[in-house]
Amino acid sequence: MSNQYAAAAAAFAKLQEHAQKDWARLKEKPLILIGAATCGRAAGALTLLEEVKNELARLNLDANVLEVGCMGHCYAEPIMVIYNEGFPAICYGYVTEGVGARIVRDYLTEGDPGIEFALAALEPNDMFPTFADFPRGIHENKIVLEQCGFIDPQNIDHYIATGGYAALTKALGMTSEEIITTIKDSGLRGRGGAGFPTGVKWQTCLSAPGTTKYVICNADEGDPGAFMDRTILESNPHLMIEGLAIAALAVGAAKGYVYIRAEYPLAVERVALAIEQARDRGLLGDCILGSNNSLDIEIFQGSGAFVCGEESALIASMEGQPGIPRHRPPFPAQAGLWGQPTIINNVKSLSYVPHIVKNGAAWFTSIGSEKNPGTAIFALAGKVVNTGLAEVPMSTTLNELINEVGSGIAGGKKFKAVQIGGPSGGCLPESAMDTPIDFDSLTQAGAMMGSGGMVVLDEDDCMVEIARFFLDFTQQESCGKCTFCRLGTKHMLDILERITKGQGKPEDIDTLTELAAKVKAGSLCSLGKTAPNPVLSTIKYFREEYEAHINEGRCPSKMCKELIAYYILPDKCERSCDACVGSCPVEAIHDNEDRIKVIDQEKCVKCDSCLVACPPQYKAVVKLSPPHLVLEKDKEYREGKK
């Protein structure tokens, strides 16, 4: 064993040396990084990449340009980083068309780094603030996301040069028990949402009888509002692969799978390439780094079923069946894929593993809280200013995360609630803002950690509508096995739909609560058990909104389409302005005898275009709820004219 390990360590040292040389060579010239994960691409990163390359060619400048993943600052996409001698490395945000070429030109030819476009510097210096000088930087503690956005995900050498695969090499010299003890001592809890201790799962799989064992990475991130797994896979796929390989070593598996959603084509592409490169380097395949251990990893693409994130459903789909969960026990760790002991871990759980093996269990427990060690990764979206990915220590409070990391609510609006944990989670109001974010506290507050999706809602968001949205989602995604999940959620959805249309009945709230308890009790897997959470938490914290819908036919947030009408305030309308008329897709806006714009309520499709188009200095378009207020306003106007 020790001889073998020495050989593996020597083989790895060679790989590392080569990679580090390559890495050092990169910075001999100016180095430009462009964030081109899916979020960056949606904001135009590929255009920026082309623009920068063209500009360099045009000016005959010599520089290295890399397409990297996402740094987490999605709000400022497209993002570019320039390393150039004489200045600290600078990260630029909102690099829209034309700006990229300008920064490159001014910086590389005239030495003007274009501070006006800079988000922050990457290392401490006397000239610009760094990310650590902002509230976001104070809270953030990047472990899994550390390399994301700074290395080329398509180049294994970058990962190796920045410390990658050292943990796998170290693990080759450890026994299964040693690896599992390290993970157990670290207190790592599964980041897929349930928070089950990872070490215990591995131990169960190791002790299960059978010589053929499997490890599966669950990358079926289906929660609407969550994009952590996608970003990790697109920005640093090797980290997950290394974690998967260590898991395989720990339980003695020779075959691993990555189960990825088909909706993430770029992630699939990057993981496939990463597996191939790792195999080329001898880090996967037969006799890893010359040792006795072998591991082959394959990708299995999901087919668009949310329930397949549940482990027994995931296994069913890999076996060519509809993804229907089954009773547990036996747990997959005892009898999983093809009846063999199988470990299934989320992308994030596996991504912590190399760091824990490398730095030790004590290091991991020193971060976060006692029962929830380590960090948590959140996808901040919705009405918050700084949307994106944030990695903070466990037990950071909601307030810190939303108001400091996320910089509060956009557009001067008021915070209303935060929806955590996707369809399995719940909505927490302002009064819950001091809740520390960890598996236990969130469950107590009536939400759930889930996988880390966090959608911030402001005063314009209707809580009944969001409950309806999630119920609609879970009802469609229910596999149909359990009657309560199949029919109970349908019944709940029907009630919620009626309420949002203003046809609610006074007894509806009680019926919903009652049904919720039954669906929870009568469902086999977590999809059904958690489906009523959004409804229960919104009733608990926002009951008065339900009552306004039911009793007054009014949507307080003016979101439910059937309960609102668009109206143009006559005294604010600028007669010569036609902005709303041009924006209306159905020609519902016309002039009245005073040349003031009027909306034909029969024709109006409530698309919001006129409200957006109305110049901010007039703000003449408003939403009214209930809709009959339009008639009253009209009457008021006519009487005023007389």
Partner 1 sequence: MKITEEEKKIAIETTRQLLSTYNDSRGNLIPVLQQVQNKLGYVPAVAMEEAAAHFNVPAVDVYGVITFYNQFRLTPPGKNQVKICMGTACHMRGAHIIQESWERRLNIKMGETTEDREYSLERVACVGCCTMAPVVLINEEVHGKITPTRVDGLIFAHQLDKQKAKEGAAQDE
In 3D, which of 433, 413, 501 has the Cα closest to residue 465? 501
Q: Are 70 and 53 in contact (CB under 8 A)?
A: no
Find the binder of partner 1 among 109, 125, 292, 321 (CB under 8 A): 321
Which residue reads 């314009």 in tokens? 460
- CB neighbourhood size of 493 (10 A): 21
Find the binder of partner 1 among 263, 508, 547, 634 (CB under 8 A): 263
Query: What is the footprint of partner 1 within residues 122-181 (CB under 8 A)?
Result: none
Find the binder of partner 1 among 5, 12, 75, 378 (CB under 8 A): 75
Find the binder of partner 1 among 157, 310, 461, 545 (CB under 8 A): 461
User: SS3 letters for 198-266?
Assistant: HHHHHHHHHHCCCCCCEEEEEECCCCCCCCHHHHHHHHCHHHHHHHHHHHHHHHCCCEEEEEECCCCHH
CB of 329 to partner 1, least distance (A): 23
CB of 588 to partner 1, least distance (A): 12
**Count of residues of this chain found to bind partner 1 when the rule CB under 8 A is applied:** 65
CB of 486 to partner 1, least distance (A): 13
Query: How many CA within 13 A on the CB side of residue 116?
Result: 6
Distance separating alpha carbons of residues 408 and 619, to the nearest angstrom: 24
The yes or no reply on residue 262 touching partner 1 (CB under 8 A) is yes
Q: Is the peptide bond before 626 cis (omega within 30 degrees of 0)?
A: yes
Q: Residue 304 — φ and ψ, nearest 5°?
A: 80, 50
Find the binder of partner 1 among 32, 33, 39, 258 (CB under 8 A): 39
Name the β-bridge partners of 299.
Answer: 258
Query: What is the footprint of partner 1 within residues 413-442 (CB under 8 A)?
Result: 419, 422
Stretch that binds partner 1, among 110-118, 187-195, 374-382, 495-503 (CB under 8 A): 374-382
In 3D, which of 94, 139, 82, 348 has the Cα closest to residue 231? 348
Find the binder of partner 1 among 1, 13, 24, 42 (CB under 8 A): 42
Query: What is the footprint of partner 1 within residues 500-539 (CB under 8 A)?
Result: none
Q: How close are the terminal C-alpha atoms of the chain, in Å?
A: 99
For partner 1, the closer CB: 147 or 557: 557
For partner 1, the closer CB: 182 or 386: 386
CB of 318 to partner 1, least distance (A): 6
The yes or no reply on residue 237 touching partner 1 (CB under 8 A) is no
Find the binder of partner 1 among 455, 499, 515, 589 (CB under 8 A): 455
The yes or no reply on residue 80 touching partner 1 (CB under 8 A) is no
* Beta carbons within 8 Å of 367's beta carbon, 6+ residues apart: 141, 143, 373, 374, 375, 393, 394
The yes or no reply on residue 579 touching partner 1 (CB under 8 A) is no
- CB neighbourhood size of 3 (10 A): 7
* Cα-trace Rg, the chain: 27
The yes or no reply on residue 583 touching partner 1 (CB under 8 A) is yes
User: SS3 letters for 370-435?
Assistant: CCCECEEEEEEEECECCCEEEEEECCCEHHHHHHHHCCCEHHHCCEEEEEECHHHCEEEEHHHCCC
In 3D, which of 314, 346, 141 has the Cα closest to residue 226? 346
Stretch that binds partner 1, among 21-29, 279-287, 299-307, 548-556 (CB under 8 A): 299-307
CB of 351 to partner 1, least distance (A): 16
Find the binder of partner 1 among 77, 140, 242, 311 (CB under 8 A): 77
Handedness of CA 409, 414, 417, 419 (dihedral sign): negative
Find the binder of partner 1 among 306, 378, 439, 546 (CB under 8 A): 306
Find the binder of partner 1 among 227, 259, 364, 567 (CB under 8 A): 227
The yes or no reply on residue 303 touching partner 1 (CB under 8 A) is yes
Q: In Å, what is the CA distance from 460 to each residue of 134, 380, 403, 532, 538?
A: 28, 18, 18, 23, 15
Find the binder of partner 1 among 124, 304, 339, 615 (CB under 8 A): 304
Distance separating alpha carbons of residues 536 and 263, to the nearest angstrom: 30
CB of 593 to partner 1, least distance (A): 29
Find the binder of partner 1 among 479, 512, 515, 550 (CB under 8 A): 479
Distance separating alpha carbons of residues 421 and 450, to the nearest angstrom: 4
Supply 359's token pair.
């730095």
CB of 438 to partner 1, least distance (A): 22
The yes or no reply on residue 469 touching partner 1 (CB under 8 A) is yes
Find the binder of partner 1 among 265, 287, 490, 631 (CB under 8 A): 265
CB of 184 to partner 1, least distance (A): 32
For partner 1, the closer CB: 19 or 402: 402
- CB neighbourhood size of 446 (10 A): 18
Give me the 603-642 binding string for partner 1, x by CB under 8 A, dash otherwise: --xxxxx--xx-----------------------------
Q: Is the peptide bond before 78 cis (omega within 30 degrees of 0)?
A: yes
In 3D, which of 485, 442, 454 has the Cα closest to residue 310? 485
Find the binder of partner 1 among 225, 237, 426, 532 (CB under 8 A): 225
The yes or no reply on residue 383 touching partner 1 (CB under 8 A) is yes
Q: In Å, what is the CA distance from 208 to each residue of 254, 333, 509?
A: 15, 7, 47
For partner 1, the closer CB: 41 or 189: 41
Distance separating alpha carbons of residues 559 and 606, to the nearest angstrom: 10
CB of 41 to partner 1, least distance (A): 6
Q: Are 168 and 238 in contact (CB under 8 A)?
A: no
Stretch that binds partner 1, among 182-190, 215-223, 512-520, 624-632 (CB under 8 A): 215-223
Distance separating alpha carbons of residues 142 and 376, to the nearest angstrom: 9
CB of 230 to partner 1, least distance (A): 4
The yes or no reply on residue 379 touching partner 1 (CB under 8 A) is yes
Find the binder of partner 1 among 140, 220, 221, 311 (CB under 8 A): 221
CB of 489 to partner 1, least distance (A): 16
In 3D, which of 29, 95, 96 has the Cα closest to residue 65? 29
Q: Which residues bind partner 1 (CB under 8 A)?
A: 38-39, 41-43, 74-75, 77, 221-227, 230-231, 262-265, 300-306, 317-323, 338, 379, 381-383, 387-388, 419, 422, 453, 455, 457, 461, 466, 469-470, 473, 477, 479, 561, 583, 585-586, 605-609, 612-613
